[in-house]
Amino acid sequence: MTPRDTSADLVAAAPRCTFIPPWLVERVDGPEAAAHDEALRARRALEARSTPTAGAEEATGPDWIVHDAGSTTTLPGTPAREADQPATGDTAVDEAATGIEQTLRMFAEALQRDSHDDAGATVSITVHYGEAYNNAFWDGTQLVFGDGDGRVFERFTKPVDVLAHEFSHAVIENTAGLAYQDQSGALNESVADAFASCLKQWLLEQTADAGDWLIGEGLFLSSVQARALRDMAAPGTAYDDPDLGTDPQVGHMDDYVETSNDNGGVHLNSGIPNRAFQLAAVAIGGRTIEGAGRIWYDALVSGDVPTDSDFATIAAATVAAAGQHADAVRQAWAQVGVEPAAPTGASTPAEQPVPAGAPAGRLRVERSGGFAGRTESVEVDLDDTVEPGLRALVDEAVVPASTTGTPPMPDMFTYTFVVEGRDPVTVPEQLLSASQAELARRVLRGGPAAR
């Protein structure tokens, strides 16, 4: 695989799945992390899709390879360890190795799936990505993990469910291919969380009623007032910290969030199907991967879950796949306000006002998405700024851009530039032009590096 510097060139690609949602990015502005990962993941997603024989070639190789990016943004990095090789002593490398072995084994033993493509493709993993990088993502080719900033976040290889979540995005891409936008994007996130929780419980030999249902437990440093990044059993309760704020996830259709941020609120609204999965798992009983996990997987590969599925569509598919547990699954969806029926039966969330444009002479730059699903917004006065040449950069950067055919990728960032008198310009990270990347970097102070 030819190394490439992901911050050096732009290639149109689909948006990526990042682990940190945009509302945490607003609070935790990790150096360079935000924009680099978007440019990387979507670009490589396109490369992967444009090489249809790549999977067949990889299937002849080892089960997995862990690479070391050496704190750069060049992927895949230097090979550090592969299947059947001993531990290296590098904590992140060895955590990734152990995590992928466990994840592959669960999918093989419990679901009879051979790697993410079900054809034995080598799983390529990169650790030590970027400097103090606060994210993890699947870009269509790689599972990529940052080391965290050591201030808010630990290594992203530390909780094994983070790796399982990103691997599950690859499984979803190779099965239902859920589009990473609005309800289908929230389902993409939720299914990844579901299998991540399955792995955690499977390793601990827990039944569904004994699981803690936490996603990303141990990812925050002990100084942060948080139990985890998400709580599938009680969305909106995972953290409440003076600096991070309160977990904004919702767990019922009555609270569904209509927003243009985070690809339509995929990390916010994923709490709704997350809660349905948890309720179904506990009602069915036993080990989750053998109960609700098996049902959700069967629905995913059934052909009844199109790429643009809404909650009602997948609810109907899971009820159909549930057999003797159909009533338990139907009731689980009903408890979160979703009627398992045709897509038109889904609840329609109330529209919320779109934020007003920036005042005269002002620029607003918003960054949303990421694994944490948090939104960061910074506004500056173009006539009174310490940044020389910013207005000229705005004239070059804030122009309409076509993103046709490049849907968001799971867990990647999206940027929006707002100037009065012009339509807002929204661009997936991987499609940022050099001037847009530089503008975001200068305004957000920790945005993408100029390309």
Residue numbers annotated as active site: 166, 267
In this structure, the number of other CB atoms found within 10 A of the CB of residue 311 comes to 28
Measuring CA to CA, which residue among 361, 334, 356, 357 is closest to residue 345?
334
Structure tokens of 31? 């150096």
Tokens 């309720």 correspond to 279
Is the CB of residue 34 less than 8 Å from the CB of residue 385? no
Structure tokens of 410? 């799971």
State the Cα torsion 301-164-257-420 to the nearest 10°: -110
State the Cα torsion 60-66-67-69 to the nearest 10°: 150
Q: What angle is formed at CA 65 by the lines to CA 127 and CA 88, rounded to 5 degrees?
A: 65
**C-alpha separations of 236 from 83, 220, 226, 231, 233 in Å:** 38, 16, 11, 7, 10
**C-alpha separations of 260 from 210, 364, 430 in Å:** 37, 15, 18
Output DSSP code: residue 220.
B
Tokens 């989750």 correspond to 288
**Phi, psi of 110, deg, nearest 5:** -90, -30
Structure tokens of 131? 């400097």
Q: What angle is formed at CA 425 by the lines to CA 42 and CA 20, rounded to 5 degrees?
A: 45
* Cα–Cα distance measured from residue 40 to residue 74, given in angstroms and rounded to the nearest whole number: 9
* Cα–Cα distance measured from residue 318 to residue 280, given in angstroms and rounded to the nearest whole number: 10
Q: Are strands 64-68 and 123-127 parallel, antiparallel or unpaired?
A: parallel
Is the CB of residue 63 less than 8 Å from the CB of residue 113? no
Measuring CA to CA, which residue among 215, 280, 37, 213 is closest to residue 138?
37
